[in-house]
């Protein structure tokens, strides 16, 4: 059984029409999104995907952006039935979460996780490492997919922690960020030069057709892969 997996940080300031258009044409079976906002009348991404036939798990956390409080977080969307769902806080002081969906696909259960780690401006981080260690404790050894915006470079200790247990589906480490300079007021990245977004699979699964997709609807590029279950 082959499944198309899509992961994308859709950005607080993302172009909603561009985001929804891309997701619809992607025809992905399972989607992991990050920076999904709670109760935003102009960005009802959950309602939109429900209308396309996706079930979902959403793990919002309270944050402050531009002096305003709001909730955002990672989410998992599935064309197949979600039998169990869980939400975890990875570290209390940084308000970072992970959404877990246990998806029934024929006679197998696929464990899918979407997360968004702390942004440390591409610098080594103890808090990121702690988040990665806490993530790994949650993930079953078999039939698991972990994806999201890790805000960490391929050579970082954070990513190496995950790679000890799971397979990185893009060995070339193609860059995914930043499409827009305003994606980080501190970093001011003017070109797509950093890889921050990843899809990992458990070692019993196989992956093919990994792609860094093309869309300017977010400051991150979407990534996709086909996974054989």
Q: For position 198, what pLDDT does the model report?
A: 98
Domain holding 20, by residue range, is 2-228
Q: Can you tell me the distance from the alpha carbon of 22 to that of 10, in angstroms, rounded to the nearest whole number?
A: 11
| Residue spans of alpha helices (H) in the chain | 16-26, 45-51, 126-138, 157-163
Q: For position 66, what pLDDT does the model report?
A: 66
DSSP structural state of residue 165: T
DSSP letter string over 68-101? EEEEEEEEEEESS-EEEEEEEEEEGGGTEEEEEE
The number of domains in the chain is 1
In tens, the pLDDT along 164-183 reads: 999 999 999 999 999 999 99
pLDDT at 65 over 70: no
In tens, the pLDDT along 45-59 reads: 999 999 999 999 999
Task: Report the pLDDT averaged over residues 31-39.
Answer: 93
Q: Report residue 92's pLDDT band, with 50, 70 and 90 as the boundaries.
A: confident
Q: Can you tell me the distance from the alpha carbon of 221 to that of 80, in angstroms, rounded to the nearest whole number?
A: 25
What is the domain-level CATH number for residue 130? 3.60.10.10
In tens, the pLDDT along 182-219 reads: 999 899 999 999 999 999 999 999 999 999 999 999 99
147 phi and psi, to 5 degrees? -145, 160
């Amino acid at each position: 059984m082959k499944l198309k997996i899509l992961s994308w940080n859709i950005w607080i300031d993302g172009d909603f029409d561009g985001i929804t258009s891309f997701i619809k044409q992607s025809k992905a079976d399972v989607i992991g999104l990050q920076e999904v906002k709670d109760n935003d009348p102009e960005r009802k991404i959950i309602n939109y995907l429900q209308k396309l036939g996706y079930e979902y798990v959403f793990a919002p956390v309270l944050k402050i952006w531009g002096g305003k409080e709001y909730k955002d977080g990672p989410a998992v969307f599935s064309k197949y039935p979600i039998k169990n769902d869980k939400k975890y806080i990875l570290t209390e002081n940084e308000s970072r979460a992970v959404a877990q969906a246990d998806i029934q696909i024929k006679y197998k259960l696929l464990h899918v996780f979407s997360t968004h780690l702390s942004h440390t401006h591409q610098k080594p981080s103890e808090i990121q490492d702690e988040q990665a260690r806490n993530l790994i404790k949650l993930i079953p050894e078999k039939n698991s997919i972990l994806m999201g915006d890790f805000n960490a470079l391929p050579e970082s200790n954070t990513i190496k922690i995950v790679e000890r247990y799971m397979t990185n589906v893009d060995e070339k480490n193609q860059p995914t960020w930043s499409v827009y300079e305003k994606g980080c007021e501190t970093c001011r990245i003017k070109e797509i030069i950093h890889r921050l977004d990843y899809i990992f699979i458990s070692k019993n699964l196989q992956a093919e057709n990994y792609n860094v997709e093309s869309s300017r609807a977010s400051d991150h590029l979407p990534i996709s892969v086909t996974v054989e279950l």
